[in-house]
Amino acid sequence: MAITNFFSQVAALNFTGCLNLTIRKDGESLTVSVLLQNDACGDTAKSHIPPLILKGTAQELGEGFFPAVSEPVQQTSQLLTNMEQFLKGQEEAQKNSAMEKKKTEKADKPATEVSPKEKKFIEAMKQVDALEADGKFKEAWCKVPLASEYPDKAEQLRKRKENLKNQFAPDLFGAAQPAETQTEEEVHIEPNTEDYADSEPNAEDIPDEGEGE
């Protein structure tokens, strides 16, 4: 049985990956499609690499196949390898970039410990939220921390108190409401009878109209 050196020549080709050969026969003519694939390459651009197409008789292909595909296969293999190395290089560069390092350091950095004063503020605001949710606006207003104690949050506290104040009933702090103005018809004036008898003139003291004449 004759031994062919076809596979020996394939093995001699300098490539990495999977070399796909598709052979179609049309009468005495053969069409060979050669496509090199490298699954290790993660660049989707590799899908745009077209296959190498060779046409000819069996004798022509037998004589010219390997000389025709050797260099393109090697170049394609090198291209796919470079593409993968480029992607890995990009990933490594991104990891080592100042921005990425800053993000990593920020993520690894433990949360800043909250000061006792800040804890007090947070707890007070939680109580305010709870009271407001229960509709106890006056109590919530009273629980809002003083702006003088938290100057950096003065505007926030002022707005919060203003919002709560707007939800109060008309008797804001339980102050007595002014009495409604009475109309003249409703006003009853008691006559002052004190010393009235003394001040009323006596009939005897009234001079007769004729006496003056």
* Residues 53-80: tens digit of each pLDDT: 999 999 999 899 999 999 999 998 888 8
Whether 176 shows a pLDDT value over 60: the answer reads no
Mean pLDDT, residues 143-154: 89
- Residue 43: pLDDT band with limits 50, 70, 90: confident
Q: Are residues 11 and 74 in the same domain?
A: yes
Q: Which residues of 12-48 are buried (b: 16+ CB within 10 A; e: fewer)?
A: eeebbbebeeeeeeeeeebebebbbbbeebeeeebee
What mean pLDDT is predicted for residues 44-48?
A: 82
- Residue 38 belongs to domain spanning: 6-98
Question: Which of 63, 98, 133 is where one domain is finished?
Answer: 98
Enclosing H/E stretch for 10? helix 6-12
Buried b (16+ CB within 10 A) or exposed e, 145-160: beeeebeeeeeebeeb
Pairwise CA distance, residues 8 & 127, whole Å: 83
Q: Is residue 183 part of a domain?
A: no
Q: How far apart are CA 68 and CA 75, in angstroms?
A: 12
Q: Over the stretch 76-103, which tens digit does the pLDDT of each residue have?
A: 888 888 888 888 888 878 777 767 667 7
Number of domains in the chain: 2
Whether residues 21 and 90 share a domain: the answer is yes
Higher pLDDT, 92 or 139: 139
Domain finish residue from 98, 128, 147: 98
Residue 71 domain-assigned (yes or no): yes
